[in-house]
């Protein structure tokens, strides 16, 4: 199966129920290379507590979300991350063609949820900024077991469902429509969390 073949479920999934899951979006070697980066090897050292709200209105609220993040700067990103960003670019081209979207760019952060932390049910679009069109999260957790928790719970109209944060798996969903939450886990939960934008990322924080 080629990489583009793997993207096929995105067309029907996003148009139908607003989400799609792609196993092995990243191959095991690609996941390993990302996990070996200093950022992840150094625990939380280079990460910041994530906030809620947009720009000036940002607040820390551990009752809502407890994850730590580090934004990726694509100009200085290591090759292991570049490989992921290239795949996101291919994904953008695919969904633009399949679903007549006009996605232009992405913004991505590394994410760690320490044990016991969570992110309560929410939507990914901000009230004053609707440029996030699709959310795309790729998990980096090898040998994750259901009893370790940490599921992504999606709330499509057809009924809630849980997705395990297993290494290499990508979940993509409509940022404006699909409510979701992250359940607490018994072990640190790692991912690359991103949004596909209908504007260029360098215009966003001017
Ligand atoms: C988020 C989010 C889901 C996940 O960062 O907005 O909902 O599975 N993440 O990590
Ligand atoms: Mn979210």
**Residue range(s) defining the domain that contains residue 39:** 3-43+69-197
* CATH number, position 17: 2.60.120.620
Q: pLDDT for 56-68, tens place per residue?
A: 777 888 889 999 9
Question: Ligand 1 pocket: which residues have CB below 6 Å?
Answer: 119, 124, 137, 152, 180, 182, 191, 193
pLDDT band at 176 (very low <50, low <70, confident <90, very high): very high
Q: pLDDT for 6-52, tens place per residue?
A: 999 999 999 999 999 999 999 999 999 999 999 999 999 999 999 88
The answer to whether position 104 is within a domain reads yes
Total domains in the chain come to 1
pLDDT surpassing 90 at residue 192 = yes
The answer to whether position 98 is within a domain reads yes
The answer to whether position 102 is within a domain reads yes
Residue 191 to residue 179: CA distance in whole angstroms: 19
Q: pLDDT for 112-147, tens place per residue?
A: 999 999 999 999 987 778 999 999 999 999 999 999
Q: Where are the alpha helices (DSSP H) in the chain?
A: 3-7, 9-16, 28-35, 38-41, 79-99
Strand order from edge to edge, sheet including 170-174: 19-22, 170-174, 132-139, 189-197, 105-113, 68-71, 48-49
The answer to whether position 53 is within a domain reads no
- 21-37 b/e (C-beta count within 10 Å ≥ 16 → b): bbebbbeeebbebbbeb
Find the ligand nearest to 191 CA.
1
Percent helix, strand and coil across the chain, each to the nearest 5:
25, 30, 40
Residue 135 to residue 111: CA distance in whole angstroms: 14
pLDDT band at 55 (very low <50, low <70, confident <90, very high): confident
**pLDDT attached to residue 127:** 74
Residue owning the nearest CA to atom 6 of ligand 1: 124
Q: What is the 181 CA–ligand 2 centroid distance (Å)?
A: 7
The answer to whether position 76 is within a domain reads yes
């Amino acid at each position: 199966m080629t990489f583009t073949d793997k993207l096929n479920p995105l067309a029907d999934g996003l148009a139908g129920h607003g989400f799609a899951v792609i196993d092995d979006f990243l191959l095991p070697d690609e996941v390993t290379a990302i996990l070996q980066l200093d950022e992840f090897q150094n625990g939380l050292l280079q990460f910041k507590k994530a906030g809620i709200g947009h720009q000036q209105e940002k607040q820390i609220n551990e009752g809502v979300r407890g994850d730590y993040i580090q934004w990726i700067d694509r100009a200085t990103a290591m090759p292991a991350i570049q490989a992921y960003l290239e795949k996101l670019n291919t994904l953008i081209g695919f969904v633009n063609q399949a679903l007549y979207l006009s996605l232009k760019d992405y913004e991505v952060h590394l994410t760690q949820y320490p044990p016991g932390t969570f992110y309560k049910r929410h939507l990914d679009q901000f009230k004053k900024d609707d440029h996030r069109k699709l959310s795309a999260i790729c998990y980096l957790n090898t040998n994750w077991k259901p009893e370790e928790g940490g599921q992504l719970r999606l709330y499509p109209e057809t009924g809630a469902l849980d997705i395990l944060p297993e290494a290499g798996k990508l979940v993509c969903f409509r940022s404006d429509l699909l409510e979701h939450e992250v359940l607490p886990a018994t072990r640190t939960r790692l991912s690359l969390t991103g949004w596909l934008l209908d504007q260029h990322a360098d215009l966003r924080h001017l």
